[in-house]
Amino acid sequence: MTDIGFIGLGNMGGPMARNLVKAGHRVRGFDLAPDAIATAKDNGIETVASATEAAQGAEVVISMLPAGQHVRAVYTGPDGVIGLAKKGTLLIDCSTIDVASARAVQEAAAAAGMEMLDAPVSGGVAGADAGTLTFMVGGTDGAFGHGKPLLEVMGRTIVHAGGPGNGQAAKVCNNMILGITMIGISEAFTLADKLGLDQGKLFEISSKASGSCWAMLNHLPVPGIVEASAANRDYKPGFAAAMMHKDLKLSQEAAAQAGVATPMGAEAAALYTMFVNAGNGGLDYSAIIKLIRGT
Ligand code: NAD
């Protein structure tokens, strides 16, 4: 049994913390939102009054927060976890945040004698619920070895991506590919339709030809062809367009900092910005086909 402090018990953090309790760990959790606290209590999590209280005495602190500014505040702000947790505590941030914040917080942790991992996930709320998330992990070999058994409780695939920040780097690079390919698929299937080519026929051909890719095979944005597609459920997510928008913006921040030109990533970010600003953030990311179709 490990004593775990869990900070951020929202849509993802709530079920992740619950799975740790189910596996026999002691979890003391904190969230700013009363609803999240109430659900956590129902799930057997001991709830406490602050992030500091969750971290005090914990062997491992896990966080699942909205963005980089929240992660910086929780770990390095006034009364931050890094100043108050005991030396040797392992810190694991599972939020999706910018690479620079992840590296800055890990540097502060190392200076205070603590190991830290950035461990963003893919798999969504369903994966968090089922304990089948994929974790992309950045940090030292020692920290990875120490944290892996707990990540295995919450996920099915755990990949060590390299040193500090590399988990976040993997997440933004992967999701930039996904955003760009979804837009490409949407363009091709819309064009096929306008050319009088049946979209099912295009799928039959392209899914076995050089245009095939994971997004086409799993998240085809047109209905009635791929069973798992959100298109069959009025684009109920799935993976929300607002999340894709966030990840594409993070990819562009990272590209600017690294001095890399990613014109397709920039275009994908702009298209998702338009789509989300038009009130579509709650639809699945594959609904971007509506923007391409002009519907
Ligand atoms: P969420 O908004 O449901 O949960 C975040 C929680 O953090 C909220 O309950 C909020 O009250 C809490 N919080 C904010 N600041 C806090 C603070 N200072 N102290 C304590 N609690 C605080 O979001 P989510 O969907 O659970 O996503 C969490 C992270 O996981 C995000 O970074 C997101 O990008 C990433 N992610 C989400 C999904 C998804 O499908 N939801 C998939 C992959 C990755």
Q: Which amino acid is at 217?
A: L
Ligand 1 pocket test, candidate residues 32, 125, 284, most atoms within 8 A of CB: 32
CATH number for the segment(s) 169-293: 1.10.1040.10
Tens-place pLDDT, residues 29-62: 999 999 999 999 999 999 999 999 999 999 999 9
Residues in the chain: 295
Tens-place pLDDT, residues 253-290: 999 999 999 999 999 999 999 999 999 999 999 999 99
pLDDT for residue 189 is more than 90: yes
Please list every protein residue whose CB sits less than 6 Å from any atom of ligand 1: 7-13, 30-33, 36, 51, 64-66, 70, 73-74, 95-96, 121-122, 124-125, 243, 246
Task: Return the residue whose CA atom lies nearest to atom 20 of ligand 1.
Answer: 31
pLDDT for residue 73 is more than 90: yes
pLDDT for residue 124 is more than 90: no
> Of 95, 100, 22, which Cα lies nearest the Cα of 256?
100
> Of 14, 19, 3, 20, which Cα lies nearest the Cα of 38?
14
For residue 231, what is the DSSP state? Answer: G
| Chain mean pLDDT for the chain | 97
As annotated, the residues of the chain forming the CATH 1.10.1040.10 domain(s) are 169-293
pTM equals 0.94
In the chain, DSSP assigns E strands to 3-7, 26-30, 46-47, 60-63, 90-93, 115-118, 121-122, 133-138, 155-162
CB 51 within 8 A of CB 7: yes
Band of residue 158 on the pLDDT scale cut at 50, 70, 90 = very high
Query: Which DSSP string do the residues of 161-172 spell out, in sequence order?
Result: EESTTHHHHHHH
Q: Is the peptide bond before 238 cis (omega within 30 degrees of 0)?
A: yes
What is the percentage of the chain residues whose pLDDT exceeds 70? Answer: 100
Instruction: Report CA Rg, the chain.
Output: 20
Fold assignment, 3-162: Rossmann fold (3.40.50)
116 DSSP β-pair partners: 91
As annotated, the residues of the chain forming the CATH 3.40.50.720 domain(s) are 3-162
CB 133 within 8 A of CB 155: yes
Residues catalogued as catalytic = 171
Number of Cβ atoms within 10 Å of the Cβ of 131: 19
